Structure 1
């Protein structure tokens, strides 16, 4: 609650409970917006997990159970932005695939933002992403917007030092960032492109920092949501010299060496 007060939320509604173990009948479909950074890499026994969550996806992994919880808590039309470990995006277990399928087929998966691995240092170095989705219970995913966030305005080491002045940090700086400043803080660009995800972003090539992927491609890839599955990397063409020229130079160098040795022997 102290953290919320420091961020201007003067009357927070903080409840002490085990969200994954207790039933959620009183709060089901109660919220229109969920912003969450749930615990990663936890595991619970089935008997300790709320039955209504296991009805969504049968798993012991907390990162998947929290996503199931948010689907329960959101009202139809409600939106969520959830930080997840990268494993959620490409995990091969039945539960991983089932949950991704639910987001794509039964709900509306709006976007996936890949985060740099140092954003949670010094506490954790795990690679993470943000899942952005809307609860519809009737599908609606036509395409998914991907953004490769490479910098958030701070160093990605344990110190997390500011790389820009305070008025140029965050997603809404006081003035537009230069190209050099953008390289240190991608957040304003990510926000601007997110707002165009259903328009100009549809035209971007997969070699760019953001792009859209049709639902059909995601289905064909087993509902894999990792950015690298779809991002195309361009390689600069390198011109190599003709091997015959190189061999000719080597022969000439060897001739010079042999001549030098012969001259030295003649001097002895």
Structure 2
């Protein structure tokens, strides 16, 4: 991990302190600088989640990535800053009906900060998530005005998970999967079981290759903004902000590449964009 190059990529001039405030500053900077995207899947390149590959893609080449990539990079940065952390696997509940048990296709982190366990997640594409103490009822707010909380809902190893992350806020500041109200909605569930490297490889492979899923059937990109959220699903762009929500349809590969660069801070050339099935 070249920590200084990573910090430059996310716009931080100094190394944050290894405490709760530093964690919040690092996570916010990461989320607003490195867009969430799955575009290597439709481009047929596959997703590699070893540290070297992830650093090269997200930092050196200025691309984005999805949770297995984002939180690999984030975990390496935390470790370089002296913050102990380990991965957790989660079931994404956003947009699903009650009673549906999805697979564990999201990775987040348990970070040890000041002797306390914290949920750290720089790779959730559905909305902006702040660090939260892993304590029943813990709450925090993000710059878009949304509230976030953790609730303990079951024993470790149960299908429902031991912990539930919820969000209450404008559905416009999400990737479009939220229900059309601002009340508490489930984001994902997880437990604190140990996760081995092969568990991550297995979950990443399923997520990147299973036909008919969100990541193999759609082209997605999202990024939190200072007071809102930007999301692009195929050619439909939605940008929420303090003044409202703007929507438009992407015209062509050049427009797509420009929008990725200017809105999502993702470097993809127009020639690469033209190779997406979206423009076939």
- After TM superposition, the score normalised by the length of structure 1 is 0.26
More helix by share: 1
Greater relative CO, 1 or 2 (CA 8 Å, sep 6+): 2
> What TM-score do the two structures reach when normalised by structure 2?
0.25
